[in-house]
Amino acid sequence: MTADDRALLEAAVAAQQRAHCPFSRYPVGAAVRTVQGAVFSGCNVESASFSLTCCAERVAVFKAVSEGHKAIAACAIVTSDGKPAAPCGACRQVLYEFGPEMRIVLGNPSGEIRIMNLADLLPEGFSQEHLLSHSGDADCCD
């Protein structure tokens, strides 16, 4: 694990402390590092209308994007129990769109760490290139 990985995990741990998870009681913290080196963190935010809940990973990405950063190099995710958990499918898709080659660092309170590439979690991901290749094909949706 690199010093950058450790710093990103620490940012995710700090974000986890701010999680709003009254229903699942499963706090998650995430932090992303852009290719420019800026770090943005996020926590899961649950809603009584469960479909409106947002995962920590997406909160971190959305914060980065809202500040003008659209190329993400790494993401650290910290969960509270059991082995370090990988991002859900929705988060994998969002992460892929901003860094298909990004490094993923997973951790838990016991100090267990898993490191992988996003491509290992989402092989052959769907990207804007798939959409752009059909943007001029008006007959496809009739």
Instruction: Judge whether 101 counts as a catalytic residue.
Output: no
Q: How far is CA 74 from CA 50, 89, 95, 130, in A?
A: 28, 17, 9, 23
- Rg (alpha carbons) of the chain, rounded to whole number: 16
Helix (H) or strand (E) holding 126: none
Which segments within the chain are labelled E, that is strand? 29-34, 39-43, 72-78, 103-107, 113-117
Catalytic residue selected from 10, 57, 67, 101: 57
**Could you give the residue numbers annotated as active site?**
57
